[in-house]
């Protein structure tokens, strides 16, 4: 019997509405849901391959447990939980709760309730060592927002704006940023005469659609933004009334911008002066302009400063929603969000709780510095991390400094990975705990609303919500456990009483309205979602009535006036950021071509792969399951290489193999390559099949952002040479592990 269900694909931040065709209990087809008012029928190949992913032979249907020889054998959920609880107890008794750390990867976004449970579990355990992939992604965003303050009424949603600037993001492929179904959103914007500016070293699929594309030299976004803001101030294009009423620090900022003349900036960023002037004027002249940055600038050094300058640019131009305008996102499955046309003043960006033991890092407004977790595992002494629980992440191919990450994984007393598969990381684990597949669990979009805390202008900009039920039963004979349930059961075994907040996800702050869970009678998943949405603006029952999801605008709800005696102001002259601007201006800018690492390896996403996922899916890996080294044809020629050549890509830290792909869209002097591929060095020889891990080229203790700890993960200095014979062995020699913290 054929049935069709509606659901949401959670493989990437597009959260596309999908239709799932099931025949006799087997999923046969997945495609975009035309009746989903958020994504209007869009889907990509990754989502459409959900049937293959669901039935994939690599999918684990039982937990695995590591044997002394390093192999993994099948076990069952109850035994695994009992054993993990006993080991955690032992570790905590000997070393204290701080010895237990948790890392939540990107796929926590597929499993909406997990975060609420692991946060409570770790809090009740008494360990502050909670890390997440957002701190390897765009950690500058929450920290910059803390220093600048936040405008309570937020920024304009993309669909309501007339001008948009995207910096180092490629929404057409990544779906990251302010728009859903980006192709359709950009077409609609163009039809209405709206302007779109892109800053990216590559002529990306998004840059191709831009009215203005600034093909910047990687790693110079802070310089360029400083230049753009200076042009706006020099040309008197700023919003003086808004600044007078709401913003501090203009003088300090302007003084710090003195070195950033348009000629200096043009030269340093290698962009024509005219383009910088045009970008500044276009942005400032918009009635409703917005900016979003992506991973590129956040990874290329000075990410916090870059995000701070983005907020300063918005504030200098007064580009924030004003009193009397609609509350565009009043929330649906979260408590109603009333908005005021006023500034929430700056708060500290870092320095919370107990510091880490390395590089002067500690908890930030965005959470713990994930880039330092490997060191916390390797560095012996009091406070050393001995146990790690991973939820939907794959550190071996996602953490910077792979060799160190690998040493760290191997040295743990207990490594538990909640994952659907044996991955580069989970195959090293003492336990792999597989959850049911995305199509086998229920959930709701509360999490997608929640993600706004990652930064202004991200994720659901409209009051859209959907509840989805399991589309398929769990495979017969399987022994699986949902992520929330895993933490619940572990808590029971350790005698912890969990609490869940009202949905609101917190990164660095306190949970909102925590409510104790019944630890005797296990709730169902449905109970859990009802509990998380207990104070929502629209009840979960109401949301459930709409199979395809629904928009729930708060008719007539407008942004309120500023409170009469409100003192909060935004700050564009934060002393630490001002000092960093001076540091940037004082930097000696080398010509990469004159150094022994003349290329810059820049990050990117590929359409058919989501981070480390997809290269074992036949339809997605049709053109090869590896990550090509995309290079400009002129560079390829100059190096005497040819398209398809095999090369060694070497940084100061280590080396990987690559396969050259000619791509005219790549800026000369750069190599554009995706992460999430390959494996540890002993697998390097299989690079044609599985690709290579760019994270190995990164030194996590060098060139790092002093607040968030993110090292330089884009614009990595590298050199490239053709592959000598016997190169596989050669690379092993060069990759002797350095584990000093
Ligand atoms: N060099 C370099 N490094 C980078 C980046 C870069 O651009 N360059 N990007 C960084 C960024 S932005 C990020 S977000 C991180 C990503 O880093 P991670 O989150 O650590 O890596 P992913 O590959 O996304 O891992 C997701 C894992 O979740 C598993 N999974 C899938 N579905 C489920 C599920 O339903 N439940 C559970 N429990 N698991 C599931 C998958 O099998 C996979 O192993 O990498 C960062 N690292
Ligand atoms: N298909 C697909 N979609 C994905 C993912 C995926 O792996 N595949 N990953 C998901 C994840 S975890 C995330 S965080 C988002 C990320 O979403 P995005 O940030 O949009 O990711 P990218 O597509 O890599 O875009 C980053 C852009 O930055 C540019 N760039 C690199 N260095 C610099 C620099 O120094 N300055 C500037 N201005 N630009 C630079 C790159 O050329 C690239 O075009 O995507 C998500 N969506
Ligand atoms: S993976 Fe594809 S179908 Fe799934 S949410 Fe992302 S863009 Fe949509
Ligand atoms: Mo990410």
pLDDT tens-digit readout, 134-169: 999 999 999 999 999 999 999 999 999 999 999 999
| Ramachandran sector of residue 703 (left: φ over 0; alpha: ψ -120 to 50; beta: rest) | left
Q: How many CB atoms lie within 10 A of CB 618?
A: 10
Q: Could you tell me the pLDDT band of residue 124, with boundaries at 50, 70 and 90?
A: very high
Q: Which token pair is 531?
A: 């509990």
Positive or negative: CA dihedral 151, 153, 159, 162: negative
pLDDT tens sequence across 597-648: 999 999 999 999 999 999 999 999 988 899 999 999 999 999 999 999 999 9
pLDDT > 80? residue 732: no
Atom of ligand 1 nearest to the CA of 434: 38
* Cβ of 46 below 6 Å from ligand 3: yes
pLDDT computed for residue 504 by the predictor: 59
Q: How many CB atoms lie within 10 A of CB 204?
A: 26
pLDDT > 70? residue 305: yes
714 neighbors 136 (Cβ within 8 angstroms): no
The full 3-state SS of 215-241, as one line of letters, equals: CCCCCCHHHHHHHHHHHHHHCCCCCHH
Rounded mean pLDDT, 436-450: 92
* Cβ of 417 below 6 Å from ligand 1: no
What ranges make up the beta strands (E) of 464-551?
Answer: 464-465, 467-468, 499-500, 515-516, 550-551
What ranges make up the beta strands (E) of 651-715?
Answer: 655-662, 670-672
pLDDT > 50? residue 739: no
Full-model pTM: 0.97
Which residue from 7, 8, 11, 464 has its CB within 8 A of the most atoms of ligand 3, so it is best to mutate? 11
Rounded mean pLDDT, 53-59: 92
pLDDT computed for residue 675 by the predictor: 98
* Cβ of 173 below 6 Å from ligand 3: no
Chain position carrying tokens 């830290």: 653
Backbone angles phi, psi at 656, to 5 degrees: -140, 165
CA–CA distances in Å: residue 158 to residues 161, 185, 186, 310, 460: 5, 8, 9, 16, 11
Q: Which token pair is 558?
A: 């407008």
366 neighbors 505 (Cβ within 8 angstroms): no
Hey, is 738 helix, strand or coil? Answer: coil
* Cβ of 15 below 6 Å from ligand 3: yes
Taking a 5 Å cut-off on Cβ, the residues next to ion ligand 4 are 137
pLDDT computed for residue 128 by the predictor: 95
Q: Of all protein residues, whose CA lies closest to atom 37 belonging to ligand 2?
A: 168
159 neighbors 286 (Cβ within 8 angstroms): no
Cα 582 to Cα 576: distance, rounded to the nearest angstrom: 10
pLDDT > 50? residue 703: yes
Hey, is 442 helix, strand or coil? Answer: coil
Ligand 3 centroid to Cα of residue 46, in Å, is 6
Chain position carrying tokens 């981070």: 611
Helix (H) or strand (E) holding 115: helix 114-125
Rounded mean pLDDT, 39-51: 96
Rounded mean pLDDT, 44-65: 95
Rounded mean pLDDT, 735-740: 41
Chain position carrying tokens 């044997």: 67
Rounded mean pLDDT, 695-706: 96
Q: Which token pair is 112?
A: 């909406």
Rounded mean pLDDT, 180-209: 94
- Measured from the alpha carbon of residue 398, the closest ligand is 1
Cβ neighbors of 583 (< 8 A, separation 6 or more) are none
Ligand 2 is surrounded, with C-beta below 6 A, by 12-13, 106, 137, 167-171, 173-176, 199-202, 204, 216, 218-219, 221, 294-297, 300, 602-607, 609-611, 672, 714-715
Q: Which token pair is 435?
A: 């959850």
The alpha helices in 2-105, defined as continuous H runs, are 45-48, 50-54, 77-95
Ordered DSSP codes for 528-543: HHHHHTTT-SS-HHHH
pLDDT tens sequence across 515-547: 899 999 999 999 999 999 998 999 999 999 999
pLDDT > 60? residue 736: no
- Measured from the alpha carbon of residue 693, the closest ligand is 1
pLDDT > 80? residue 728: no
């Amino acid at each position: 019997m054929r049935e069709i269900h509606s659901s949401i694909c959670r493989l990437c931040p597009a959260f596309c509405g999908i239709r799932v065709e099931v025949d006799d209990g087997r999923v046969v087809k997945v495609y975009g849901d035309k009746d989903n008012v958020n994504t209007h029928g869009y889907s990509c190949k990754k989502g459409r391959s959900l049937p293959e992913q669901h039935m994939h032979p690599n999918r684990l249907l039982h937990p695995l447990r590591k044997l002394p020889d390093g192999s993994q054998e099948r076990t069952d959920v109850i035994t695994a939980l009992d054993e993990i609880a006993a080991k955690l107890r032992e570790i905590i008794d000997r070393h204290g709760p701080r010895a237990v750390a948790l890392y939540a990867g990107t796929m926590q976004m597929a499993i909406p309730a997990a975060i609420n449970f692991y946060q409570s579990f770790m809090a009740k355990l008494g360990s502050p060592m909670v890390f997440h992939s957002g701190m390897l992604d765009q950690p500058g965003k929450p920290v910059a927002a803390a220093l600048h303050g936040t405008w309570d009424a937020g920024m304009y949603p993309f669909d309501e704006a007339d001008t948009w600037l995207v910096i180092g993001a490629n929404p057409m492929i990544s779906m990251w940023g302010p728009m859903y179904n980006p192709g359709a959103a950009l077409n609609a914007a163009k039809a209405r005469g709206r302007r779109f500016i892109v800053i990216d070293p590559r002529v990306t699929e998004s840059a191709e659609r831009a009215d203005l594309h600034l093909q910047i030299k990687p790693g110079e976004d802070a310089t360029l933004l400083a230049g753009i803001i200076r042009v706006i101030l020099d040309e008197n294009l700023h919003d003086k009334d808004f600044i007078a009423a709401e913003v501090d620090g203009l003088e300090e900022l302007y003084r710090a911008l003195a070195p950033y003349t348009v000629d200096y900036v043009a030269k340093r960023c290698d962009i024509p002066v005219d383009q910088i002037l045009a970008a500044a004027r276009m942005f400032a002249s918009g009635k409703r302009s917005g900016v979003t940055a992506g991973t590129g600038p956040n990874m290329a050094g000075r990410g916090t400063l870059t995000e701070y300058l983005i907020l300063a640019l918005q504030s200098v131009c007064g580009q924030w929603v004003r009193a009397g305008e609609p509350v565009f996102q009043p929330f649906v499955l979260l408590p109603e969000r009333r908005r005021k046309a006023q500034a929430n003043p700056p708060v500290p960006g870092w320095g919370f709780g107990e510091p880490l033991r390395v590089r002067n890092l500690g908890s930030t407004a965005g959470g713990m510095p994930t880039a330092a977790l490997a060191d916390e595992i390797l560095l012996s002494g009091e406070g050393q991390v001995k146990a790690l629980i991973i939820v939907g992440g794959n550190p071996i191919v996602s953490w910077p400094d792979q060799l160190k990450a690998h040493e760290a994984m191997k040295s743990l007393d207990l490594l538990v990975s909640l994952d659907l598969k044996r991955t580069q990381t989970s195959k090293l684990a003492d336990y792999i705990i597989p959850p049911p597949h995305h199509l086998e669990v229920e959930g709701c979009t509360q999490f997608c609303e929640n993600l706004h805390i990652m930064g202004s202008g991200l994720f659901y900009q409209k009051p859209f919500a959907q509840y989805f039920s399991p589309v398929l039963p769990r495979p017969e004979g399987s022994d699986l456990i949902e992520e929330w349930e895993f933490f619940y059961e572990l808590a029971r075994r350790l005698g912890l009483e969990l609490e869940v907040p009202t949905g609101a996800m917190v990164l660095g702050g306190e949970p909102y309205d925590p409510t104790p869970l019944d630890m005797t009678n296990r709730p169902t998943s449905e109970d859990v979602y009802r509990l998380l949405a207990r104070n929502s603006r629209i009840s979960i029952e109401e949301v459930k009535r709409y199979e395809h999801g629904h928009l729930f605008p708060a008719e007539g709800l407008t942004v309120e006036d500023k409170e009469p005696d409100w003192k909060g102001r935004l700050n564009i002259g934060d002393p630490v950021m001002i000092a960093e601007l001076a540091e940037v201006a004082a930097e000696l800018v080398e010509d990469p071509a004159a150094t022994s690492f003349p290329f810059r390896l820049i990050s990117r996403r590929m359409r058919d792969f989501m981070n480390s996922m997809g290269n074992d899916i036949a339809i997605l890996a049709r053109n090869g399951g590896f990550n090509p080294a995309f290079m400009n044809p002129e560079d390829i020629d100059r190096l005497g290489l040819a398209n398809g050549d095999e090369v060694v890509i070497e940084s100061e830290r280590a080396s990987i193999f690559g396969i050259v792909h000619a791509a005219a869209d790549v800026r000369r002097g750069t190599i554009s390559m995706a992460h999430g591929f390959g494996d540890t060095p002993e697998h390097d020889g299989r690079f044609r099949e599985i690709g290579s891990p760019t994270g190995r080229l990164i030194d996590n203790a060098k060139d790092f952002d002093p607040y968030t700890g993110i090292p330089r993960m884009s614009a990595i200095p590298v050199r490239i040479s053709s592959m000598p014979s016997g190169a596989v062995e050669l690379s092993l020699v060069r990759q002797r592990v350095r584990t000093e913290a």
